[in-house]
Structure 1
Amino acid sequence: MRRLLYGMNLSLDGYVAAPGDDLSWSGPSDELFQWWLDQERAISLLLYGRKLWETMSAYWPTGDQQPGATPAQIEFARNWRDTPKVVFSSTVDKVDWNTRLVTDDAVAEITRLKAEDGGPMRVGGAALAGAAMRAGLIDEYAIVTHPVLVGSGTPFFTALDSWANLNLVETRTFPGGVVLTRYETRR
Structure 2
Amino acid sequence: MRKLIYGMNLTLDGYIAAAGDDIGWSGPPSHELFQWWLDHEQASGLSLYGRKLWETMSSYWPTGDQQPNATPAEIEFARNWRDTPKVVFSSTIDRVDWNTRLVTGDAIAEITRLKAEDGGPMNIGGATLAGAAMRAGLIDEYVIAAHPVLVGGGTPFFTPLDSWVNLNLVETRTFPGGVVLTRYETRR
Please, what is the CA RMSD of the aligned residues?
0.5
The equivalent of 1:23 in structure 2 is 23
Aligned residues: 187
Q: Where do residues 99-118 of structure 1 align in structure 2 (5 Å cutoff)?
A: 99-118=100-119
Q: Which residue of 2 aligns with 1:83?
A: 84
* Structure 1, 24-33 or 87-96: larger mean CA deviation: 24-33
State the Cα distance separating 1:152 from its structure 2 match.
0.7
Q: Which residue of 2 aligns with 1:176?
A: 177
Could you tell me which runs of 5 or more consecutive residues in structure 1 were left unpaired when the two chains were aligned: none
Look up the match of 1:4: 4
Amino acid at match of 1:11: T
Give TM-score scaled by structure 1 length.
0.99
The aligned counterpart of 2:141 is 140
CA distance in 2, matches of 1:92, 1:168: 37
Matched residue type, 1:156? F
Equivalent position amino acid for 1:179 in 2: V
Q: Structure 2 CA distance, aligned partners of 1:106 and 1:100?
A: 13
- Among all aligned residue pairs of Structure 1 and Structure 2, give the percentage whose two residues are the same amino acid: 84
Residue 126 of structure 2 corresponds to 125
Task: Give the Å deviation of 1:24.
Answer: 1.2
Shift >6 Å, 4+ stretches: none
1:161 alignment partner AA: D
Where 2:60 maps in the other structure, the secondary structure is helix
Q: In the alignment, which residue of structure 2 is the partner of 1:153?
A: 154
Q: Secondary structure at the match of 2:181?
A: strand
What corresponds to 2:61 in structure 1?
Answer: 60
* Equivalent position SS for 1:132: helix
Q: Which residue of 1 aligns with 2:38?
A: 37
Distance in 2 of aligned mates of 1:23 and 1:67:
23
Q: Secondary structure at the match of 1:114?
A: helix
Q: CA deviation at 1:85?
A: 0.2
Mapped to 2, the partners of 1:72 and 1:40 lie a distance apart of 12
